[in-house]
Amino acid sequence: MKITVFGATGGTGQQLVRQACAAGHDVTAVVRDPAKLTETHPLLTVVRADVMDPESIGSAIAGRDAIASALGGRGGGPHRVCTDSATSIAKAMAAQGVQRLVAVSNSGMIRDAADGPITRFVAKPILSRLLREGWADMARMEDIIRATDLDWTLMRPPMLTDGPRTGTYRTAVDHTIRGGNRISRADLADGILRVLADPASVRTAVALAN
């Protein structure tokens, strides 16, 4: 599979690039600063481009089988990293005729019946105040992606860790996972690769947790 990865210099993005190349996929990593991506592999091409500019990223998307976005904002202040990048990526994909998109969001902002009472009524309300700017950005991103005609999947992990790739995490479609409060970036990357080739995951939100 030919995969383009956005956010390739982040913790999840680096894991995704590494695992995708190891699995034999042809990977294009789109970055602002190539020096920040230390991964090297014969199947990896690093492209310097501005993800916020649809024309800038068009060549990195053209002819690809799937696009994966592991982009996220940093810091606690207001930002639109996920919102604006999703808008740009969706526009570029439409222009290039590429359909498959997997984007990383989060499960913390989702409150539903699958949550335990402490999580739903105590933990998540507290976190929603602490992380409100980042979660608001991801919620807008989800709305933008859902409104497209793309074959999208939203990945909703809880707190991310630097633990190993286990491949034994739990998943749930369109609802949260009870007691699922952590997952490693390595397992999240594993999950992204699994859904990229899974037509059953199209137009769903997939929660993951250890």
How do the domains of the chain map onto residue ranges?
A: 2-209
Structural contact between residues 71 and 89, judged by C-beta atoms closer than 8 angstroms: no
Q: What is the DSSP letter of 194?
A: H
Q: pLDDT per residue over 54-66, tens digit each?
A: 999 999 999 999 9
The 3-class SS string of 89-111 reads HHHHHHHHCCCEEEEECCCCCCC
**For residues 127 and 92, what is the distance between their CA atoms, to the nearest angstrom?**
34
Q: Which helix (H) or strand (E) holds 189?
A: helix 185-196
pTM, 2 dp: 0.91
Average pLDDT of every residue of the chain: 91
The mean per-residue pLDDT over the stretch 40-66 comes to 97
Which of helix, strand or coil describes residue 43? coil
Give yes or no for residue 73 having a pLDDT over 90.
no
* Structural tokens at position 115: 């949550």
Superfamily classification of domain 2-209: NAD(P)-binding Rossmann-like Domain (3.40.50.720)
Provide the percentage of residues in the chain whose pLDDT is more than 70: 89
pLDDT of residue 5: 98
The mean per-residue pLDDT over the stretch 22-38 comes to 95
Most confident of 32-41, 145-154, 177-186: 145-154
Banded pLDDT at 185 (limits 50, 70, 90): very high
Q: pLDDT per residue over 126-141, tens digit each?
A: 666 666 677 789 999 9
The mean per-residue pLDDT over the stretch 16-36 comes to 96
Structural contact between residues 178 and 114, judged by C-beta atoms closer than 8 angstroms: yes
Q: 30-39, 112-121, 172-181: which range is least confident on average?
A: 112-121
185 or 38, which is more confident = 185
Structural contact between residues 197 and 155, judged by C-beta atoms closer than 8 angstroms: no
Which of helix, strand or coil describes residue 52? coil
